[in-house]
Chains A and B, each alone.
Chain A
Amino acid sequence: MRLRVRFVFVILCCLLAHYGAANVQAQYINTKLVEKKVTIRSAIILPAKVEITKESAKGSEMMVAESADISSKVMDAVGQVLQKKKISVAPNLFEATAMDETRKYTLADIQNRYDALLPKLINKSKDIKKARFTLGDEVMLLNVHKDADVLVFIRGQGRMFTKGKTAFSIINIFSFDFPFALITVGIVDAKSGEVLAFTKPLSASKVLKDPKALSKMIEKSLKKLPAAA
Chain B
Amino acid sequence: MSLYFRCEPAGTQSIPSFRSSNSPTIGTVLKHKRFFQIFILTLSIVVSSLPISARAPRLQTPQTTTAEQVSGEKFTFGKVDLDLLSEINLLDERFEKEGAVYHDPGLDAYLNRVGMAVVSGKDLENVQWKFHALRDPVPNAFALPNGSIYINTGLLALLDDENQLAAVVAHEVMHVTGRHTYLRNRSVRKKMLAINIINTIGTWTPIGGPAGLAINLIATISPLMLALSVLGYSRDQEREADLEGLKLATAAGFVPDGMPNSFKSMQKDIEGEQLGAPSFYMDHPKLQERVNYTSSSIPADARKLSADEAKHAQDDYLAVMEFVDRHDVDLAINEGRFRSAIYVSQKLVNLRPESSENLFYLAESYRTLGPRNAELTTKQLTSGAKKKAAKTLAKRTLEEIDAELLKTPEGQEAWKTNSAKSESLFLRALELNRFNARAHRGLGMLYERLNRKPDAASEYAKYLELAPNAIDTERIRRRLMVLRESMQQ
What is A's interface to B at a CB cutoff of 8 Å? Answer: 1-3, 5-6, 9, 47, 57-59, 61-65, 68, 96, 99, 101-102, 104-109, 111-113, 116-117, 119-120, 132-134, 137-138, 140-141, 143, 146, 168, 171-176, 191
Contacts and interface: CB of A to CB of B under 8 A. Distances in A.
A175 B94 contact: no
A62 B472 CA distance: 37
Contacts of B98: 47, 96, 104, 108, 111
Classify chain B's interface size.
35 or more
B485 interface: no
A104 B5 CA distance: 52
B391 interface: no
B4 interface: yes
Contacts of B200: 168, 171-172
A6 B335 CA distance: 49
B7 to A, nearest CB: 5
A2 B199 CA distance: 18
A59 B475 contact: no
B3 A96 contact: no
A3 B206 contact: yes
B87 A2 contact: no
Contacts of A191: 478
A197 B84 CA distance: 38
A174 B335 contact: no
B206 A2 contact: yes
Contacts of A175: 2-3, 199, 203
B199 A172 contact: yes
Contacts of A134: 397, 399
Contact of B196 (A62, A143, A168): A168
B397 A133 contact: yes
B204 interface: yes
Given A104-B98, A140-B474, 18 more contacts: A1-B7, A58-B192, A65-B90, A68-B94, A96-B97, A96-B98, A104-B99, A105-B99, A112-B334, A116-B336, A137-B478, A140-B478, A143-B471, A168-B196, A172-B196, A174-B5, A175-B3, A175-B203
Interface in B457-489: 471-472, 474-475, 478-479
Nearest to B473: A143
Contact of B475 (A6, A140, A146): A140
Nearest to A165: B196
Contacts of B122: none
B472 A141 contact: yes
A50 to B, nearest CB: 13
30 contacts: A2-B8, A3-B204, A5-B7, A47-B98, A57-B193, A57-B196, A62-B87, A62-B91, A63-B87, A64-B87, A65-B90, A68-B94, A99-B99, A104-B98, A105-B135, A109-B330, A109-B334, A113-B334, A133-B397, A134-B399, A137-B479, A138-B475, A141-B471, A143-B474, A146-B474, A168-B199, A171-B204, A175-B2, A175-B199, A175-B203
Contacts of A102: 471
Contacts of A117: 397
Given A58-B189, A116-B335, A132-B397, A176 B471 contact: no
Interface in B321-336: 330-331, 334-336
Contacts of B8: 2
Contacts of A6: 5, 204
Interface string B174-202: 00000000000000111011001001100
A59 B199 CA distance: 14
B90 A64 contact: yes
B394 interface: yes
Contact of A108 (B83, B99, B103, B192): B99
Interface of B: 2-5, 7-8, 14, 83-84, 87, 90-91, 94, 97-100, 103, 135, 188-190, 192-193, 196, 199-200, 203-204, 206, 330-331, 334-336, 394-395, 397, 399, 471-472, 474-475, 478-479
B20 to A, nearest CB: 15
B90 A174 contact: no
Contacts of A65: 90
A63 B83 CA distance: 10
Interface centre among B84, B190, B474, B478 (most CB of A within 10 A): B474
Interface of A is mostly: helix
* Cβ-closest 8 pairs across A and B: A104-B99, A108-B99, A58-B189, A64-B90, A59-B192, A140-B475, A96-B97, A174-B3
Contact of B94 (A64, A111, A113): A64
B227 to A, nearest CB: 11
B475 A137 contact: yes
A132 B204 CA distance: 48
A2 B6 CA distance: 8
Contacts of B479: 137
Contacts of A107: 99
A143 B475 CA distance: 9
A104 to B, nearest CB: 3
A198 to B, nearest CB: 14
A124 to B, nearest CB: 8
A109 B330 CA distance: 10
B203 A174 contact: yes
A158 B165 CA distance: 38
Contacts of B5: 5-6, 9, 174
Contacts of B14: 2
A140 B334 contact: no
B188 A59 contact: yes
Nearest to B479: A137
B193 A172 contact: no
A176 B475 CA distance: 48
Contacts of B100: 108
Given A64-B87, A64-B91, A137-B475, A176 B3 contact: yes
A59 B194 CA distance: 11
A172 B478 contact: no
B396 to A, nearest CB: 8
